[in-house]
A = this chain, B = another copy of it.
């Protein structure tokens, strides 16, 4: 793949400089739009000096591919192309692209480019674009498209085929058709069903009338998850009056799932999520994405530290205790993050709901007892053997571990669900935050147990 890419780029550069445009055209004809876009991005990178060249390249693309290739390009490249387009070019280009793709592009563009795009869209398209742009960022409405096939229940199958032939070319998907009656959705029929039905059959008789729909305001992640549940190609989006306003297609759903997962991974690592890929994000931006949480966590860790100051007496009397601090803190942190991450994932996949709160907490409690007993046993024996058979020391550690583990499992399970309840992203309650909270508790447990057992005042 990589090397292959390198070769093509070399060839292209050669052909460009020697102006062998026919060769370039035929070379691009065979390439898949997604690959072509990657190619152009790779070819010019951030070197917009070459603007002339990539305009030429873009104009050499097969007409029907151009719009699709464009949607796959990096925003910077898109912006440069649009500003290089003549209004005519832009108009023709927009007429060939799907509304939802245009919306995606608009969302990445600066105001002046946006207004130019809108100015050059048809009145209908402009209206649709604005509507979609007005839906909340993470709603079903914001990822839907309005280009679906609309049938009437009194049509015959063969008429439906005619309609599909006539209007299909500009529709994002033709494989699921929607049956409406004065704009209200009354059924769906798939092209497969049409094929299997009699040519004379009425759409109303073969359509599936109990349709699974989503509201324009539904969360886009929930909508995306419905695709993996029902294996649909598209899901219709309806407004409060059950009027069909658009459809969400499986490819958008896939992108949503990937984006949402990436966001969760970032949040779980105390990084502010960003849409940019790792390399596209500059060093300074990376710093900004990470510094916020680090400061918060550093301060909370400082509080932990200040609390431990009170126990100077304990570890000056018994310095050996200090050497177990890392083990206690890490074990607590790890147990907490195990529980929190599993619960966060369960919430994301809809396997766990807030109603399960006590079920989950009780389960983690029992798991905590099992886990902690094993860890305490292993550790207790090791310490007894390796630290001069000091039974009091190993008892101190065993008790501390048991309390720490159980507590951290409970905290790790509870916080994400409470976050969800408070409409926060549960992913925020993952490893880093949990471990700082747990650290504090575990050290307090540890030192107090030690004080009791070694009766240090």
Instruction: Show the binding face of A for B, using Cβ within 8 Å.
Output: 2, 30-32, 34, 161, 164-165, 168-169, 174-175, 191-192, 195-196, 210, 212, 227-231, 233, 250-251, 253-255, 257-258, 261-262, 264-266, 268-271, 277-279, 283-284, 286-287, 290-291, 293-295, 297-298, 301-302, 304-306, 308-309, 312, 315-316, 319-320, 322-327, 329-331, 333-335, 337-338, 340-346, 349, 351-353, 355-356, 359-360, 363, 366-367, 370-371, 374-375, 378-379, 382, 431-432, 435-436, 439-440, 443
Contact = CB atoms under 8 A, between A and B. Distances in A.
A378 B254 CA distance: 42
A266 B346 CA distance: 11
Contacts of A353: 2
Given A32-B230, A329-B326, A367 B254 contact: no
B302 A382 contact: yes
Contact of A196 (B31, B168, B286): B168
Contact of A330 (B251, B255, B301, B367): B301
Nearest to A278: B346
A294 B326 contact: no
A281 to B, nearest CB: 9
Nearest to A305: B323
B271 A341 contact: yes
Given A294-B334, A326-B439, A366-B283, A228 B304 contact: no
Chain A interface, >50% SS class: helix
A270 B436 contact: no
Nearest to A340: B269
Contacts of A227: 251, 254
Contacts of A344: 265
Contacts of A253: 254
Protomer copies: 2
A298 B327 contact: yes
A299 B359 CA distance: 32
Contact of A308 (B326, B343, B371, B374): B326
A195 B165 contact: yes
Contacts of A269: 337-338, 340-342, 431
A169 B330 CA distance: 57
Contacts of A436: 330
A326 B443 contact: yes
Q: Which of A277, A283, A366 has the most C-beta atoms of chain B within 10 angstroms of its own C-beta? A: A283
A334 B371 contact: no
Contact of A192 (B174, B283, B304): B174
Contacts of A298: 327, 330-331, 375, 378-379
B315 A283 contact: no
A287 B382 contact: no
Contacts of A440: 326
Nearest to A336: B269
28 contacts: A32-B210, A34-B230, A168-B192, A169-B192, A174-B192, A175-B175, A228-B254, A268-B341, A270-B337, A271-B338, A283-B370, A287-B367, A290-B338, A291-B371, A291-B374, A294-B331, A295-B378, A298-B327, A301-B326, A301-B329, A302-B327, A302-B379, A309-B319, A315-B315, A315-B319, A326-B439, A337-B432, A435-B435
A267 B309 CA distance: 35
B439 A345 contact: no
Most buried by B among A31, A227, A333: A333
Q: Considering the complex of A and B, which 5 residue pairs feature the smallest CB-CB distances, nearest first?
A: A269-B341, A231-B251, A305-B323, A287-B370, A301-B327
A322 B331 contact: no
A252 to B, nearest CB: 9
Contacts of A337: 269-270, 431-432
